[in-house]
Amino acid sequence: MTEKYNMPDARGHFGVYGGIFVAETLMPAIEELNTAYQHYMQDADFIAELDKDLQHYVGRPSPLYYAERWSQALGGAQIYLKREDLNHTGSHKINNTVGQALLAKRMGKTRIIAETGAGQHGVATATVAARLGLECVIYMGAVDVARQSLNVYRMKLLGAKVVAVESGSKTLKDALNEALRDWVTNIDNTFYIIGTVAGPHPYPAMVRDFQAILGREARAQCLAQTGKLPSALVACVGGGSNAMGLFYPFIDDAHVKLIGVEAAGDGVETGRHSAPLCAGRPGVLHGNRTYLMSDDDGEIIETHSISAGLDYPGVGPEHAWLKDSGRASYVNITDDEALGGFYALTRMEGIIPALESSHAMAYTLKLAPTMKKDDILIVNLSGRGDKDMQTMAKREGIEL
Amino acid sequence: MSRLAATFAELAQKNRKALIPFVTAGDPNPQFTVPLMHAMVSAGVDIIELGVPFSDPMADGPVIQRASERALAHHQSLRTTLAIATEFRKTNGHTPIVIMGYLNPVEVMGYEKFADAVHAAGIDGVLTVDLPPEEAQECTELLKTRDVAPIFLLAPNSSAARIAKMDSIGAGYLYYVSLKGVTGAGHLNAAEVETKLAEIRANTKLPIAVGFGVKDAQTAKTIANLGDGVVIGSALISEIEANLHSPAQAKEAIIELLTAMRQAMDN
Ligand SMILES: Cc1ncc(COP(=O)(O)O)c(C=O)c1O
């Protein structure tokens, strides 16, 4: 790449992907948000406040941890983990909610809404809303409410109202639909904090920019600790925010491989998966054009994954662009393989990863041994596994 | 002249306003829709809006969401909705049909194939909820060259600049969404509608249909005095939902409500 990467264009396009595909009532709100976002990202006072919060409230920078024992056991690349699991609330999601909540405050909005799948984004949103004294409503599919009950309780403790969404497949996509319906209805006082690099422009670019802190840190930490850049980056991809945050500062480093790991559920060949980049087709959903899981009639197909945070039929439009352009590649990991990644990291390094992040760990099990010993592999440990204890215990037949 | 233009011209001449029912194609079952369309024409409706069921109807309230779910349970799709229009056209050559839905089924079919299919089915207008004018250039041109009107939504918070944009890219009529919210929500405020319609009129010569929140004959009459047409959706679909055990009864209730609206609007 000779020219510096500068996606998206002014209307949010990453090639044919992205854009703004919403009902007319939302257009003025989206324009207002875009203006505010463009303004405050250049505003020294805003950036200073954001940096301060990221340092003292979130706990940044997060370590880049050399997983020495695991690297030796796999016998290939030297594996470094970006420790987003150590952030306040336990995942990368808070990098984005801190940023968007500050933006909401500057815009004079008094009410925050969000969608959530695993509940990590919901918790991260309820957390910043509590801190800023803003009213907070979280939409969560009824299926996810049942499988992530610990996070539901956390959100309630933080003062948020959690609405169980009973429509459609009762998972993340339906929670997003319901949040969009809330937003059109309460547009004057409400700020919608989207939790991933999806939605209409400016969300994909804005969420990426807030998450890019983790990639900038990882790049500097890698250079400081090893004196060189990594050969490859690996991150799980639900909507794609932790992956985009890691990839973005490395896009112009053409020799650094970018690898996103989608959830293959029971296996992509079974149709029961959440891997639109690997096995979907382009379409339009939730405000942008991207790869989607839809049938021949254009209806969205139900998705499957052991991890609620990856159980989404779409993916951020920038990933669609990175896939088509060949800059990034996308692979998939089944539920069973993800469990292998979960146990490997837990036993090898004493770190219990989230089931979402376990997909990246599982791919590391495959990839690292194929790499040279002087290769560096950075894997994003996007969150910790505390929220998944019930799911894991149940799989092991244990009643907690 | 297109069927939509002819309809509005004729209404203007008679000093009447358009009554525009919205029903989801294939709700509660695929056999229900064509006979209902004919019965609605007999009850005095002027244009029919047919909803294309979609798995993720983001701009719709619970009533139309459930209509979509019922239709999807029968595998009603964009293709079978076009087949309903084709069937209706066999015996009705004059009542305009507008299909209203979401973009993804159109994306998957392909814009050109979609435009051809819509034209072949005798459809007069296409309203795609999540396709704003900024992204609509390619699709609207394909439709317009086939004499199918791309119809756009306007909202209470649409600026004068946006109204002008819809005027230049849209055709047939503009659809004013009378409240901030999803379909079937709350009650509309006639004074606010009146103020906004004046602003819209100043920026377009296209007829203006008003919808979202019209539930009874009285509201239909009030709105008819302000706009060029009244769209009624959730109130009709609620009758389907209230009579799931008897589609025949649902049809009767819908016709009764539309007849009352027609009378109120004409007097
Ligand atoms: C720990 C963790 N990682 C990853 C994800 C997936 O989201 P994204 O692809 O936007 O990073 C989630 C979503 O809930 C999560 O909780």
A343-389 confidence digits (pLDDT tens): 999 999 999 999 999 999 999 999 999 999 999 999 999 999 999 99
Q: Is A17 helix (H, G, I), strand (E, B) or coil?
A: strand
With CA atoms as reference, the chain A residue closest to B174 would be A24
pLDDT value of residue A375: 98
Nearest to A100 by CA among A151, A54, A59, A62: A54
* Res A2: pLDDT: 57
Please report, for residues A97, A198, A302, B129, the alpha-carbon distance to residue A312 in angstroms, rounded to integers and kept in the order given.
Answer: 20, 11, 8, 22
Residues A35-44, mean pLDDT to the nearest whole number: 97
**Neighbouring-strand partners of residue A283:** A290
Distant-in-sequence, close-in-space partners of A89: CB < 8 Å, separation ≥ 6: A120, A123, A124, A127
Q: Whose CA is nearest to atom 14 of ligand 1?
A: A309
pLDDT tens-place string over residues B66-84: 999 999 999 999 999 999 9
Q: Over pLDDT 90: what percentage of chain A? A: 94
Give the pairing of strands A64-66 and A78-83: antiparallel
> Looking at the DSSP assignment, which residues form a beta bridge with residue B19?
B230
Q: What secondary structure does DSSP assign to B74-119, as a single string?
A: TT--HHHHHHHHHHHHTT-SSS-EEEEE-HHHHHHH-HHHHHHHHH
* Degrees to nearest 5, angle at CA A136 with A139 and A180: 45
How are beta strands B208-211 and B174-177 bridged, if at all?
parallel
- Active-site residue A93, yes or no? yes
- State residue A382's pLDDT score: 98
Report which of B60, B7, B44 is spatially closest to residue B220, judged by C-alpha positions: B44
pLDDT per residue over A141-184, tens digit each?
Answer: 999 998 888 999 999 999 999 999 999 889 899 999 999 999 98
**pLDDT of A391 strictly over 60:** yes
Whole-number CA gyration radius for chain A: 19
Question: With an 8 Å Cβ cutoff, is B44 touching chain A?
Answer: no
How far apart CA B142 and CA B131 sit, in angstroms, is 14
Report the pLDDT averaged over residues A228-244. Answer: 98
pLDDT tens-digit readout, B128-147: 999 999 999 999 999 999 99
pLDDT at A113 over 60: yes
Q: Could you give the angle at which helices A203-226 and A93-106 cross, rounded to 10 degrees?
A: 130
Do the beta carbons of residue A122 and residue A138 sit within 8 Å? yes
Span A91-117, average pLDDT:
97
ipTM: 0.95
Task: For residue A56, give the 3-state DSSP assignment.
Answer: helix
Does B10 qualify as catalytic in the annotation? no
- The answer to whether the CB atoms of B159 and A28 lie below 8 A apart is yes
CATH of domain A14-54+93-203: 3.40.50.1100
- What average pLDDT does the segment B242-265 reach? 98
Residue B187 predicted with pLDDT over 80: no
Domain A60-90+212-395 of CATH type 3.40.50.720: no
Which of B163, B180, B200, B210 should one mutate to test binding to chain A, selecting the residue with the greatest count of A CBs within 10 A?
A: B180
Q: Residue ranges of the domains in chain A?
A: 14-54+93-203, 60-90+212-395
The answer to whether residues B124 and B4 touch, using CB atoms and an 8 Å cutoff, is yes
pLDDT at A214: 98
pLDDT, position B181: 80
Distances in Å between the Cα of A149 and the Cα atoms of A145, A160, A398, B57 are 6, 14, 17, 27
**pLDDT reported for residue A226:** 98
Q: Render pLDDT for A77-100 as a digit per residue (tens, 0 to 9).
A: 999 999 999 999 999 999 999 999
The percent of residues in chain A predicted with pLDDT above 70, rounded, is 100
pLDDT at A206: 98
Four-residue CA torsion sign, A234, A240, A242, A247: positive
Residue A80, strand partner residues:
A66, A378
Q: What's the pLDDT at A1?
A: 45
Question: Hey, whose CA ends up nearest to atom 16 of ligand 1?
Answer: A120
All domains of chain B, ordered by start, with CATH?
A: 3-266 (3.20.20.70)
Dihedral angle of Cα B181, B187, B191, B193, to the nearest 10 degrees: 40
Residues A168-194: b if buried by 16+ CB within 10 A, e if exposed: bbbbbbbbbbbbbbbbbbbbeebbbbb
Q: Which residues line ligand 1 (CB under 6 A)?
A: A 91, 117-118, 120-121, 196, 236-243, 309-310, 354, 356-357, 382-383
Q: Specify the pLDDT at position A126.
A: 98
d(CA B32, CA B111): 28
CB-CB contact of A233 with A246 (8 Å): yes
Euclidean distance between CA atoms B59 and B257, whole angstroms: 24
Same topology, domains A14-54+93-203 and A60-90+212-395? Answer is yes
* Cβ neighbour number for residue A8 with a 10 Å cutoff: 20
Ligand 1 pocket test, pick from A81, A83, A87, A91 with the greatest ligand atom count within 8 Å of Cβ, gives A91
DSSP one-letter string for B119-162: HHTT--EEEETT--HHHHHHHHHHHHTTT-EEEEEE-TT--HHH
